[in-house]
Amino acid sequence: MLKRLFAAGAIAALSLSACAPEAAEVSSAADAGEINLFTARHYASDAAVYAAFTEETGIRVNVLEAPADQLIERMRAEGARSQADVVITVDAGRLWRADQAGLFQPAPELADTLNAVPANLRHPDGHWFGFASRVRVVVFARDRVNASEITDFLDVAGERWRGRLCVRSSNNVYNQSLLAGLIDAVGPEQAETWAAGVAANIARAPQGGDTDQIRAVAAGECDIAIVNHYYLARLQRTEDPADRAVAEAVDIVFPSLAGRGAPFNISGAGLAANAPNRDNALAFLAFLLTEHGQRQFAELTNEFPVVAGVTYDNDVLAAYPQITPDPVNVNRLGENATAAQRIFDRVGWP
């Protein structure tokens, strides 16, 4: 028995090296090749975009989904032998960090294509670009709050909201980028004062995700919450009656950030520094900005397209007022991320 166990183990150990994933099967001659995609997103919309891309070009898309920090760490370790062609993450702060680690390469061939993306939603030298955008907003209880009370994020730190605000932990990158944007707008000292004010206003210790903050407002635990817009859009478009009730109890405002415009952020992509399939990767990156790709993101994940003039079918987004975005280049959010996190530590925003 013992012997058999050891034999089984030895066989298992030997077969490890032979266990390659199916995607590594020998490709046929008529094959247009493949791309290897590192992505921090996992949406049906993305899968639909990959499928459409393969249909159109014949290029297979191999996917590895993981949190952005882990993808970055893995690419670092893989170094020159990294198999990644394209990296996709949400939040510009992560893209900035990956770029700092030298994981992207410029793609001059895409220069014209990228002109379709607003200048503030892409890297100044074209190392990465946003293909969909989202905005940090305030959701409030219809029956207890008037939309006119919150026109700017600076208002949220005011005394009148003491014990009435819900927001998730500062571990979350959305909050880090919001504060990073504020540091850019008003400087670190004032940003710290603001963060301290918000921390003092928190109704309950940060817990759960953005959706949970919205539910807490509906349940009366707090009157306002800071969230990303698509979490509410998701609740508004769901089949679940309980969640619909939550969405109906609240409303949304798009406050500006220190008067500069609403704090936008992106889902972005870049060309990996050591991409083994560079040409295919460029084709894929361009595909993200086609009408087809842009529509998918708007309709399935409730994000805003970055390319102007794309038509899509989404009642919730269509009902939003005209939003003026903060003109800051999202690259700045990454530069200020560390300062933002230390401010959170100091003011005790958990």
Partner 1 sequence: MAVSPRLRQAYPVWPALIAAIACAAPLVAVAALAVSGEWSGYLAHLWSTRLPVYLLNTLQVTVISGGLAVVLGSGLAWLVARYEFAGRGVFEWLLALPLAVPAYAAAYGWFDLTQAAGPLGMLPTVRGATGAGLVLGLTLYPYVYLLAREAFAGQSSDAYEAARTLGARPREAFLRAAMPMARPAIAAGLALVVMETLADFGAVAHLGAPTLTVGLIRAWAGEGATADAARLALILVAIAFLIFALERAQRARARQTSASGRRRPSRRIVLSPIRGLAAAALCLSPVLLGMVIPLGRLTYRALNAPVTRDLASAAQNAVLLAVIAGVLAAMLGLAAAYALRTGTRRGAVAARVAGLGYAVPGAVAAMGVLAILGVMQTWIDAAWTGLFGAVFPVMLTGGIAALIFAYLSRFAAAAIGPADSALSRVTPTLDGAARTLGASARETARRVHWPLITQGALLAALLVFVEVLKELPATMILRPFNFDTLAVIAHNYASDERLGEAALPALLIAAVALPPMIWIARRIVRAEGVRAEAVRPEAGH
20 binds partner 1 (CB under 8 A): yes
For residue 25, the number of C-alpha atoms closer than 13 Å in the C-beta half-sphere is: 7
Owner of token pair 């407002």? 217
In 3D, which of 136, 131, 138, 133 has the Cα closest to residue 157?
A: 138
What span, in angstroms and rounded, lies between the C-alpha atoms of 190 and 184?
A: 10
Considering beta carbons, is residue 89 or 113 the nearer one to partner 1?
A: 89
Binding region for partner 1 (CB under 8 A) out of 125-133, 149-157, 200-208, 264-272: 200-208
Q: Which residues in the 144-183 window bind partner 1 by CB under 8 A? A: 169, 171, 173, 176
270 binds partner 1 (CB under 8 A): no
Binding region for partner 1 (CB under 8 A) out of 20-28, 193-201, 250-258, 283-291: 20-28
Owner of token pair 């707008």? 185
Residues sharing a CB contact under 8 Å with residue 276, sequence separation 6 or more, in sequence order: 36, 83, 85
Residue 22 CB, nearest distance to partner 1 (Å)? 7
Helix axes 92-100, 337-347, angle to 10 degrees: 120
Binding region for partner 1 (CB under 8 A) out of 146-154, 204-212, 308-316, 325-333: 204-212
| Binding pattern for the stretch 226-255 against partner 1, x by CB under 8 A and - elsewhere | -----x------xxx--x--x---------
Considering beta carbons, is residue 122 or 215 the nearer one to partner 1?
A: 215
Cβ neighbours, 10 Å, residue 188 = 16
137 binds partner 1 (CB under 8 A): no
Would you state the structure tokens that stand for residue 11, as one six-digit string? Answer: 């066989």
Binding region for partner 1 (CB under 8 A) out of 130-138, 201-209, 281-289, 324-332: 201-209
The one among 65, 251, 299, 335 contacting partner 1 by CB under 8 A: 65
Q: Which amino acid is at 56?
A: E
21 binds partner 1 (CB under 8 A): yes
Residues sharing a CB contact under 8 Å with residue 274, sequence separation 6 or more, in sequence order: 79, 80, 81, 82, 84
Would you state the structure tokens that stand for residue 270, as one six-digit string? Answer: 């870049």
What span, in angstroms and rounded, lies between the C-alpha atoms of 119 and 312?
A: 22
Residue 89 CB, nearest distance to partner 1 (Å)? 12
Residues sharing a CB contact under 8 Å with residue 300, sequence separation 6 or more, in sequence order: 43, 44, 45, 48
67 binds partner 1 (CB under 8 A): yes
196 binds partner 1 (CB under 8 A): no
29 binds partner 1 (CB under 8 A): no
Considering beta carbons, is residue 94 or 260 the nearer one to partner 1?
A: 94
Considering beta carbons, is residue 32 or 242 the nearer one to partner 1?
A: 242
Are 167 and 156 in contact, with CB atoms under 8 Å apart? no
Q: Which residues in the 85-114 window bind partner 1 by CB under 8 A? A: 97, 100
How large is the greatest C-alpha to C-alpha distance in the chain, in angstroms? 77
119 binds partner 1 (CB under 8 A): no
Residue 35 CB, nearest distance to partner 1 (Å)? 10
For residue 270, the number of C-alpha atoms closer than 13 Å in the C-beta half-sphere is: 32
Residue 188 CB, nearest distance to partner 1 (Å)? 14
The one among 163, 187, 259, 350 contacting partner 1 by CB under 8 A: 350
Strand partners, 129: 122, 269
The one among 36, 133, 201, 256 contacting partner 1 by CB under 8 A: 36
Residue 67 CB, nearest distance to partner 1 (Å)? 7
